[in-house]
């Protein structure tokens, strides 16, 4: 499928604007674990996912990661084009969680189109509102939700994403998503295992009692 079929406001752009974007985009294949955007003054451009999965996370002064949001097919990342969002100081790193095919849209070209097109400006604002809603949800989770509930929610979310109850994830990886230490996750997963909710093997976690996890998560 072509870029125009993935970009939701394509038909609302003028022929010149469509031509400008077409001339500015680049296609890229990235491997799992590759960093696409390192934050700071970096301005990679807008990332539009064709297939695969990306992860946006923030890094604490102590070097701990916490996942802010994930990007799937047809999702677009604005924070990788920080130079067009000068009023927003939000330092995220974007990496590939799976092998991913994507398009990169020039930040300069998109900024110009956003200034000309109400449709592009509104679309950008909608994305920003959605992302900040996710950030506020994350803040609420970190501040008010106990770690056992957060781990339960994460395992259920991951199982839904992967469409399997057997999750090939290390304790370190889960800790990075939730912004905590590996030891905390290990203790929590061992507790879950004693309670019959999961089964642990090296490099994987299998959900064995979904109902108990959902009860713990409050679903």
- CATH code for position 186: 1.10.10.10
**Is the domain of 117 the same as that of 63?**
yes
By the 8 A CB rule, do 70 and 55 touch?
A: yes
Inform me whether the pLDDT recorded for 219 exceeds 90: no
Distance CA 80, CA 39 (A): 7
**Per-residue buried b or exposed e for 161-180, using 16+ beta carbons within 10 Å of the residue's own CB:** eeeebebebebebbbbbbbb
Q: Which residues are paired to 167 by β-bridges?
A: 205
Q: Beta strands 166-167 and 54-59: pairing type?
A: unpaired
DSSP three-state, residue 28: strand
40 compared with 108, residue with greater pLDDT: 108
Distance CA 42, CA 47 (A): 13
Quick one: pLDDT at residue 88?
62
**Is the domain of 84 the same as that of 10?**
yes
Into how many domains does the chain fold? 2
Question: What's the distance, CA 216 to chain centroid?
Answer: 24
Averaged pLDDT score across all residues of the chain: 91
Distance CA 10, CA 2 (A): 11
**Is the domain of 55 the same as that of 100?**
yes
Tokens of 6: 């993935």
Inform me whether the pLDDT recorded for 145 exceeds 80: yes
DSSP three-state, residue 207: strand
**Is the domain of 8 the same as that of 27?**
yes
Supply the DSSP symbol for 180.
S
Quick one: pLDDT at residue 86?
66
**Is the domain of 138 the same as that of 154?**
no
**Is the domain of 17 the same as that of 114?**
yes
**Average pLDDT estimate for 156-169:** 95
**Is the domain of 163 the same as that of 125?**
no
E strand or H helix at 127, and its extent? Answer: helix 118-144
Which residue, 142, 170, 201, sits at the end of a domain?
Answer: 142
**Is the domain of 137 the same as that of 149?**
no
- Non-local CB neighbours of 194 within 8 Å, separated by 6+ positions: none
Per the structure, the complete domain to which residue 70 belongs is given by 3-142
Quick one: pLDDT at residue 74?
93
Inform me whether the pLDDT recorded for 89 exceeds 70: no
Distance CA 137, CA 57 (A): 14
Note the pLDDT tens digit of each residue in 39-51.
Answer: 766 788 899 999 9
Inform me whether the pLDDT recorded for 133 exceeds 80: yes
102 compared with 62, residue with greater pLDDT: 102
Inform me whether the pLDDT recorded for 127 exceeds 80: yes
**Is the domain of 9 the same as that of 112?**
yes
% residues pLDDT > 70 (the chain) = 96
């Amino acid at each position: 499928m072509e870029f125009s079929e993935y970009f939701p406001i394509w038909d609302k752009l003028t022929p010149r604007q469509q031509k400008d974007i077409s001339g500015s985009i680049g296609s890229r294949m990235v491997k799992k674990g590759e960093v696409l955007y390192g934050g700071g003054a970096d301005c990679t451009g807008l990332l539009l996912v064709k297939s695969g999965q990306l992860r946006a996370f923030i890094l604490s002064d102590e070097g701990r990661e916490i996942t802010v949001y994930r990007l799937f097919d047809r999702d677009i990342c604005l924070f990788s084009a920080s130079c067009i969002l000068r009023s927003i100081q939000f330092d995220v790193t974007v990496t590939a969680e799976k092998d991913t095919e994507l398009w990169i849209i020039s930040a300069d070209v998109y900024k110009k189109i956003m200034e000309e097109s109400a449709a592009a400006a509104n679309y950008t604002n909608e994305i920003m509102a959605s992302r900040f809603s996710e950030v506020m949800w994350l803040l609420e989770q970190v501040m008010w939700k106990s770690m056992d509930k957060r781990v339960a929610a994460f395992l259920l979310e991951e199982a839904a994403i992967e469409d399997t109850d057997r999750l090939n994830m290390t304790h370190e990886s889960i800790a990075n998503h939730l912004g905590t230490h590996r030891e905390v996750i290990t203790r929590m997963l061992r507790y879950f295992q004693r309670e019959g909710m999961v089964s642990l093997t090296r490099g994987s976690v299998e959900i064995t009692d979904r109902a108990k996890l959902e009860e713990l998560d409050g679903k």
